[in-house]
């Protein structure tokens, strides 16, 4: 078989302590999964079913600096209000349709921490015009993510501090236990709409404190006991 244009290298994330890569198939992101963030965005956090948007698979990447330099993420075009959203990232090792809640965590390969970078001004415009969020959320390099860690190392984290610093100052802080929809519930819910596959990632929503990044902002984010991620906006 030949192809008309060069076949792209599959997007992937590194695995902590391993030379093996995790291939990224699709990236499903949950909106408003912490009550305090839903409120800060002007929404009612109570009992709204989870909703989803997607990023392109190649929007997700692990920022790496050349030897002796810190990793950088470019400030994207077409925005004057780039926001950070720190999120627990779930990497699926198995797929399925109509996954039973009791079986949902069995599909998880591992976890990491990612930042759902958002062109907030474009998102606000899309919301007001009832248009899709794709270009507000799914731009190039909009999903910096840590190396992944397998369930055999970190278990299934359902409690623990999730946080993000900008220039050494705490901006976002929450607890995984405050998620409105658990990882298992998210998997079950999504699998009723589409067939989940190995390699799919879930960005599971962000706690309160989202805010703007500027060129030169130094971001450090983490989930205690799971992973950390650092990069500078260039």
**Which residues of the chain form contacts with Mn ion (CB under 5 A)?**
85, 116, 206
Q: CB-based burial of residue 55 (10 Å sphere; 0-12 exposed, 13-18 middle, 19+ buried)?
A: buried
CB of 153 to Mn ion, least distance (A): 25
Which residue number, 92 or 164, has a Cβ lying nearer to Mn ion? Answer: 164
Q: ∠33-35-40 over CA atoms, to 5°?
A: 105
Least distance from Mn ion to the Cβ atom of residue 195, Å: 23
- Least spacing, CB of residue 32 vs Mn ion, in Å: 8
Residues 6+ apart with CB under 8 A from 207: 34, 36, 37, 86, 162, 172, 173, 174, 175, 178
- Give CA–CA dist 195/215, Å, rounded: 39
Closest CB to Mn ion among residues 137, 149: 137
| Residue whose C-beta lies closest to Mn ion | 116
CB of 171 to Mn ion, least distance (A): 14
CB-nearer residue toward Mn ion: 15 or 89 = 89
Nearer to Mn ion, 188 or 206 (CB): 206
């Amino acid at each position: 078989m030949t192809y008309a244009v060069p076949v792209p290298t599959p997007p992937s994330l590194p695995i902590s302590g391993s030379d093996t890569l995790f291939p990224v198939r699709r990236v499903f992101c949950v909106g408003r999964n912490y009550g305090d963030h839903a409120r800060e965005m002007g929404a009612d956090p109570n009992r709204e079913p989870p909703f989803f948007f997607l990023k392109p698979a190649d929007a997700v990447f692990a920022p790496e600096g050349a030897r002796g330099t810190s990793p950088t993420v470019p400030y994207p075009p077409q925005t004057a209000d780039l926001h950070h959203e720190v999120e627990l990232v779930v990497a699926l090792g198995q797929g399925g349709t109509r996954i039973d809640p009791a079986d949902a965590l069995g599909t998880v390969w591992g976890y990491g921490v990612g930042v759902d970078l958002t062109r907030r001004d474009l998102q606000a415009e899309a919301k007001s015009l009832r248009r899709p969020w794709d270009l507000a959320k799914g731009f190039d390099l909009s999903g910096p993510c840590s190396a992944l860690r397998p369930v055999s190392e970190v278990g299934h984290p359902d409690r623990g501090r999730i946080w993000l610093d900008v220039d050494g100052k705490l901006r976002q802080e929450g607890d995984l236990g405050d998620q409105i929809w658990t990882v298992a519930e998210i998997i079950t819910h999504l699998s009723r709409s589409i067939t989940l596959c190995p390699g799919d990632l879930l960005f599971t929503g962000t706690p309160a404190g989202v805010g703007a990044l500027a060129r030169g902002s130094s971001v450090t984010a983490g989930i205690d006991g799971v992973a950390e991620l650092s990069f500078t906006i260039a």
